[in-house]
Amino acid sequence: MFRWERSIPLRGSAAALCNNLSVLQLPARNLTYFGVVHGPSAQLLSAAPEGVPLAQRQLHAKEGAGVSPPLITQVHWCVLPFRVLLVLTSHRGIQMYESNGYTMVYWHALDSGDASPVQAVFARGIAASGHFICVGTWSGRVLVFDIPAKGPNIVLSEELAGHQMPITDIATEPAQGQDCVADMVTADDSGLLCVWRSGPEFTLLTRIPGFGVPCPSVQLWQGIIAAGYGNGQVHLYEATTGNLHVQINAHARAICALDLASEVGKLLSAGNSFAVTGYDLAEIRRFSSV
Amino acid sequence: MFNRKFMEELFKPQELYSKKALRTVYERLAHASIMKLNQASMDKLYDLMTMAFKYQVLLCPRPKDVLLVTFNHLDTIKGFIRDSPTILQQVDETLRQLTEIYGGLSAGEFQLIRQTLLIFFQDLHIRVSMFLKDKVQNNNGRFVLPVSGPVPWGTEVPGLIRMFNNKGEEVKRIEFKHGGNYVPAPKEGSFELYGDRVLKLGTNMYSVNQPVETHVSGSSKNLASWTQESIAPNPLAKEELNFLARLMGGMEIKKPSGPEPGFRLNLFTTDEEEEQAALTRPEELSYEVINIQATQDQQRSEELARIMGEFEITEQPRLSTSKGDDLLAMMDEL
C-alpha cells in the first residue's frame, strides 16, 4: 500500500511538535519543498526527484517582547488558486512568506489581551481554503485571512468562534459540489471538532464533541473526517452529520500527525509510540457502509 | 531548596529557562550545600541530571505523567528527610502547591508543557553508562523507546477497528496486527498528596549500586552550528538575569555547624581522572555559567554577596554599580 522512498537528511532535528512536517510538491519544476520546525527556527529544504537535497535555509519567528526568542508552533505551505504562501505560526503571531521563504509579505501580531499570565499565547493550525488562509489561536478563535492573487495586501476578514480551547489543527478540501457543503474542519485541545462551510463568510455546520483528550491532528477527505486523538485512536466521522462511523485503536501513545494522499484516499497516522500506520479510507468506507 | 521564597519564584509563570540560566541555578544549588564539586565533576553531574530528566520526560506515557514523575521525585526526597519535620513540611507544602497549580490542567496543556520541555533537551545525546548498560540508551546516545508493556492510562491496546451505523450501534469489528506487544494499563497513578504513583519513572535509578559514567566524546560531532544557541547578547537577557538574581536571593544558606567544612564530590574514579576530564571536555559542550553580580537592590545584593561568600571562587568578585549593561558585558566575557 505504501512504498518506502529514499530518506532525505535535514541539517537539524525536528521539534517534538504535532503536525511538524509540511510538504509542497512542485511537479512543474521537479522540486519538492519540506518544512520542519526546530524550536525557534523553521528549516526549509528543497529537494530534486529521488530525494536529492538541493538547498536548506532557516526562518526565525519575528521577535517581540520577552526574554527568549519566540518558539515556532507550525510551518505550512498553503496552496491557493493563484499563488502559494508559506505560513509560520509562533508564540508571537503569524508570518506569511512567498513560497520560497525569502520575502515576508504579512505579519499579524497576536492579541494576548484576554489571556491570564499563566496562559500560553500562540497561533497554531494552518490551512488554505479557496483564496483564504485560516489560522487557529490559543483562545480557540480561528482567524480567516483574505489573500489577493498577488502582493502583500492581505486582510483579516473574519474571526470564527466555535472553540473555547486552543486550536490544534485545521483541515480543508475543495468543495465537492453543491451537495457536499462541508469543506473545513477545525480541532482543539479538548477534542472538539467544528465542521464549516467556507465562503465570503464561513458557516458553522456541526460540532463533534471531544471526550477528554486533545485532537492534535485532523484530515478531511470526500466528506469523511479523520481525527487523531491523544489516546492513540483515529476516528472517522461523516462530516455533514457528525456521525462516528469508524473507531480505530491505532497507537499506543498520542497521535502526533495524520497525512492524507487525497488522490488515492490513503491515510497515514503517526504516534508518539514511534509507529506509523497506514489506512485505505476508500476501503474502510466500503467496509463500513451499511 | 524547598524554602517558601525559592519555591514562590519557581512557581511564577515564566518562559523556559535558557541552558545558561538553568546551569547557573543548578550550580548555585549544588554549592549552597556542604557539598563541593570541581568543574569536571560538576559538568558530569549536570550531564547526568540532564539526560536522566530528558529520559523521564520523553518516556512519560501520557503528558500528564510528568506530574507523577515530579511526585516520585518528591516522595523519594521525603524518604531521605523523614527525621526533619521542618523540611518535611516544606516538601509537603511544595506537593500541595504542585497539585493546586498543575492538578487541574488539561491534557492539552500538559502536552504543551511536555513539548516545551523537550525543546530544552533537543539534540542532547550524552551517553550515560548506566543507561547503556540497562539498554535504555543506544551507543549513539538516543533513547530506546519501548514497543511493549502497558499502554498509558486511558489508551486502548492498538489493533482493533470498530465500525458503527448511523444509529451509533457497533456493526463490525476487525483486528489487525500492530507490531508492538502492549497490554492494558493496570491502574492510574495517584495525584494525591500520598498514594501509589504506579509509574516507575522518577524513582531511584540507583536502587542497585552501580558506577555511572557519562561520555561526551563522539556526541560532539553532531552538534552543528545550526543548533547552537545564539551567544550574541540579547538585550532582554537583562530581564532573565534579574529573575535569576531574585531566585537566588530566595535561597536560604545554612552554614554547616562544627569543624567539618563539607565534603568534596568527585564523580570520577581518581582525582587525576577528574583533572583530565576537565582538560579534554569538548569545547561546544562546556557550560557557560553566568556570574550574577550585585544589582541596585541593596537587600538583594547583600544576600547574593552572602551566597557567593559561602564558597570559594577563583577570582575576586567585581562589584558593579551600573545597571544591566555590566551584566551583559560580563556574560560576553565568559
Provide DSSP, B60-97.
-SSTTHHHHHHHHHHHHHHHHTTT-HHHHHHHHHHHHH
Burial of B311 (0-12, 13-18, 19+ CB in 10 A): middle
CB A266 within 8 Å of CB A283: no
Q: Which amino acid is at B262?
A: G
* Chain B residue closest in CA terms to A241: B166
Read off φ and ψ for residue A163, nearest 5 degrees: -115, 150
B271: cell is 582525582
Distance between CA atoms of residues A276 and A256, nearest Å? 10
Which pLDDT does position B145 carry in this prediction? 87
Kindly state whether A287 is in contact with chain B, defined as any CB-CB distance less than 8 angstroms: yes
Pick the residue from chain A with its C-alpha nearest to B166.
A243
Enumerate the H helices of B127-236 as residue ranges. 129-133
Calculate how close chain A gets to B313, using CA atoms only, in Å. 28
Return d(Cα B314, Cα B172) in angstroms, integer.
Answer: 74
> What's the rounded Cα separation, in Å, for the pair B138 and B128?
10
Look at B92 and A180; give whichever has higher pLDDT: B92
Nearest to B107 among A230, A244, A245 (CB): A230
How many CA atoms, within 13 angstroms, populate the side-chain half-sphere of residue B185? Answer: 16
Q: Do A13 and B159 touch (CB under 8 A)?
A: no
Neighboring chain B residues of A274 at a CB cutoff of 8 Å: 145, 147
Residue A84 near residue A99, CB atoms below 8 Å: yes
Q: pLDDT tens-digit profile of A58-86?
A: 998 887 666 578 899 999 999 999 999 99
Distance from C-alpha of B260 to C-alpha of A136, rounded to nearest angstrom: 60
Q: Which three cell numbers stand for residue A8?
A: 532525505
Interface mutation target, options B55, B161, B236, chain A, most CBs of A under 10 Å: B161
- To the question of pTM greater than 0.95 for the whole model, the response is no
Percent of chain A scoring above 90 in pLDDT:
68
- Among residues B250, B251, B243, B305, the alpha carbon closest in space to that of B33 is found at B251
Q: Which three cell numbers, joined as nine digits, stand for A124? A: 497554531
Q: Specify the residue for cell string 553508562.
A: B129
Residue B302 confidence class, pLDDT cut points 50, 70, 90: low
CB atoms within 10 A of CB B17: 19
**A contact residues 4-63, partner B, Cβ 8 Å cutoff:** 11-13, 15-17, 38-39, 58
- Comparing CB atoms, the residue among A118, A231, A247 nearest residue B162 is A247
- Which residues of chain B have a CB within 8 Å of the CB of A213? 107, 154
Q: Is A130 on the interface with B (CB under 8 A)?
A: no
- Residue position matching grid coordinates 550574541: B232
Are residues A275 and B180, on separate chains, in Cβ contact within 8 Å? yes
A166: which DSSP letter? -
Measured CA to CA, the distance from residue A103 to residue A96 in angstroms comes to: 9
User: Using a CB-CB distance cutoff of 8 angstroms, which residues of chain A are in contact with residue B163?
Assistant: 245-247, 287-288
Between A and B, how many residue pairs show a Cβ–Cβ distance under 8 A? Answer: 150
Interface contact A210, partner B, CB < 8 A? no
pLDDT grade for B220, boundaries at 50, 70 and 90: very low
Residue A35 and residue A86: Cα distance in Å, rounded? 9
List pLDDT tens digits, range A21-60: 999 999 888 899 999 999 889 999 999 888 788 888 999 8
CB–CB of B142/B236 below 8 Å? no
- Find which of A88-92, A172-176, B288-292 is predicted with most confidence, using mean pLDDT: A88-92
Which of A63, A90, A253, A283 to probe by mutation at the B interface, max B CB count within 10 Å? A253
Q: How far is the C-alpha of A274 from the C-alpha of B245, rounded, in Å?
A: 41
* Averaged pLDDT for residues A269-280: 85
Does the structure show a pLDDT above 60 at A231? yes
How large is the average pLDDT for residues B274-293?
A: 66
What pLDDT shows up at residue A193?
98
Q: Considering only CB atoms, which chain B residues are within 8 Å of A290?
A: 165-166, 171
Cell matching residue A44: 526549509
Query: Is A125 within 8 Å of chain B by CB?
Result: no
Q: Is B71 left (phi over 0), alpha (psi -120 to 50) or beta?
A: alpha
* CA distance, residue B280 to nearest chain A CA (Å): 26
CB contact, 8 Å: A153 with chain B? no
Q: What is the pLDDT of residue B332?
A: 47
**Contact state of A248 with B161 under an 8 Å Cβ cutoff:** yes
CB atoms inside a 10 Å sphere around CB A91: 24
Phi, psi of A112 (to 5 degrees): -95, 20
Where would I find the beta strands (DSSP E) of B84-243? Answer: 127-128, 148-150, 160-164, 170-175, 181-183, 214-215
Nearest to A134 by CA among A185, A68, A174: A185
Dihedral sign, Cα of residue A105, residue A90, residue B108, residue A12: positive
Per-residue model confidence as pLDDT tens digits over B196-213: 888 888 888 877 555 556
Considering only CB atoms, B159 lies closest to which of A67, A231, A249, namely A249
Please tell me the predicted confidence (pLDDT) of residue B66.
95
Antiparallel, parallel or unpaired: β A123-129 and A132-137: antiparallel
Question: Which secondary-structure segment (H or E) carries B58?
Answer: helix B39-59
Identity of the residue in B116, B155, B164 whose CB atom sits nearest the CB atom of A245? B164
Using a CB-CB cut-off of 8 Å, the residues of chain A touching B16 are 68
Rounded CA separation A195/A203 (Å): 9
A214 contacts on B by Cβ (under 8 Å): 106-108, 111
Query: pLDDT of A186-199, one tens digit each?
Result: 999 999 999 999 98
Identify whether the C-beta of residue A188 lies closer than 8 Å to the C-beta of residue A168: yes
Range name among A37-51, B99-113, B236-250 with the lowest pLDDT average: B236-250
> How many Cα atoms occupy the beta-carbon half-sphere of A289 within 13 Å?
6
| Contact assignment for B108 to A247 by CB distance below 8 Å | no
A216 touches chain B (CB under 8 A): yes
A15 to each of A71, A115, B121, B302, how far by Cα in Å?
10, 25, 10, 42
Question: Poorest-confidence range of A130-134, A169-173, A244-248, B323-327?
Answer: B323-327
| The CA-based dihedral angle spanning residues B302, B306, B312, B314, taken in that order and rounded to the nearest 10 degrees | 0
Residue A275 contacts B, CB cutoff 8 Å: yes
Q: What is the pLDDT of residue A258?
A: 96
Minimum mean pLDDT among A206-220, A250-264, B226-240: which range? B226-240
Residues in chain A within 8 Å Cβ distance of B164: 243-247, 288
- Confidence tier at B139 by pLDDT (50, 70, 90): very high
Strands A217-221 and B160-164: unpaired
Q: What size, in residues, is chain A?
A: 290
Task: Name A141's Cβ contacts closer than 8 Å, sequence gap at least 6.
Answer: A159, A160, A161, A163, A167
pLDDT surpasses 80 at A6: yes
Q: Which A residues, 166 through 195, put their C-beta within 8 Å of a C-beta on chain B? A: 166, 168, 188-190
Q: Which residue has the cell 540497562?
A: B134
